[in-house]
């Protein structure tokens, strides 16, 4: 006894039929949009949080020293943002910066001089309160990074 199977003519084609694609139509050229000038990268954050009011000059004043040590304006703005982030997460750092604002300036300068960053994801350095004053402290990984370079 032989079995007869019902096979459709498309079974070997796996349902993938070739369709005749319509011929490409001409599209009108797209006129280029007028290029808008890019805003300059801010040298300091545009708006300071309410908790840090009064410390604006401490964040802006180390800019010349930061750039002289080999940093760029973008790096400076990024490090200032990281410093503000750290201070907003620890109110005691804000108190230390209010008591000794010149130490905050020196801490931001030291970030550039060491070539490290305050980026919390990289964990290369931190702002640390030491005897009521704000200091930049390189972490173990930051010191290893300096030794490798």
Q: What pLDDT was estimated at residue 120?
A: 96
In tens, the pLDDT along 89-121 reads 999 999 999 999 999 999 999 999 999 999 999
Is 92 inside a domain boundary?
yes
For residue 80, give both structure tokens: 């200032």
Q: Specify if 59 maps to a domain.
A: yes
Q: Which of the four pLDDT bands, split at 50, 70 and 90, describes residue 88?
A: very high
Two tokens, residue 133: 């004053």
133 within some domain = yes
pLDDT score at 45: 47
pLDDT surpassing 80 at residue 49: yes
Take residue 149 and report the two structure tokens written for it. Answer: 């370079």
Q: From residue 20, give the alpha-carbon distance in Å to each of 24, 35, 85.
A: 12, 40, 60
Report the C-alpha gap between 44 and 78 in whole angstroms.
9
Percentage of the residues of the chain whose pLDDT score is greater than 90 = 62
At residue 4, what are phi and psi to the nearest 5 degrees? -110, 130
Going by DSSP bridges, is the β-strand pair 125-130/133-138 parallel, antiparallel, or unpaired?
antiparallel
Q: For residue 28, is it within any domain?
A: no
- In angstroms, the CA 19 to CA 102 distance is 74
Q: What is the pLDDT confidence band of residue 4, given thresholds at 50, 70 and 90?
A: low
Structure tokens, 146: 């300096």
Residue 135 placed within a domain: yes
Q: E strands, 21-147, where? A: 125-130, 133-138
Domain count, the chain: 1
pLDDT value, residue 48:
79
In tens, the pLDDT along 52-79 reads 999 999 999 999 999 999 889 999 999 9
Q: What does residue 57 show for φ and ψ, rounded to 5 degrees?
A: -65, -30
Do the domain assignments include residue 83?
yes
CA 127/CA 81 separation, integer angstroms: 13
Q: What is the DSSP string of 11-25?
A: GGGTT----PPPPPP
**81 confidence band (pLDDT: 50, 70, 90):** very high
Residue count of the chain, please give it.
Answer: 149
The answer to whether position 47 is within a domain reads: no
* pLDDT exceeds 90 at position 8: no
C-alpha to C-alpha distance for 104 and 37, rounded to whole angstroms = 35
* Residue-wise pLDDT tens digits, 24-40: 555 555 555 556 565 55
Domain of residue 141 covers 54-148
Average pLDDT on 127-141 reads: 96
């Amino acid at each position: 006894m032989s079995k007869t199977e019902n096979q459709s003519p498309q079974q070997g084609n796996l349902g993938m039929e070739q369709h005749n694609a319509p011929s490409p139509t001409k599209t009108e050229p797209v006129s280029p949009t007028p290029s808008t000038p890019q805003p300059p990268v801010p040298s300091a954050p545009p708006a300071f949080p309410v908790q840090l009011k009064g410390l604006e000059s401490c964040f802006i004043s180390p800019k010349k020293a930061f750039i002289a040590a080999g940093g760029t304006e973008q790096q400076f703005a990024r490090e200032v943002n990281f410093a503000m982030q750290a201070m907003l997460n620890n109110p005691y750092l804000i108190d230390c910066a209010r008591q000794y604002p010149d130490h905050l300036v020196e801490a931001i300068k030291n970030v550039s001089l060491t070539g490290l960053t305050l980026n919390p994801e990289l964990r290369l350095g931190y702002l640390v309160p030491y005897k009521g004053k704000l200091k930049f402290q390189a972490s173990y990984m930051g010191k290893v990074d300096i030794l490798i370079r």
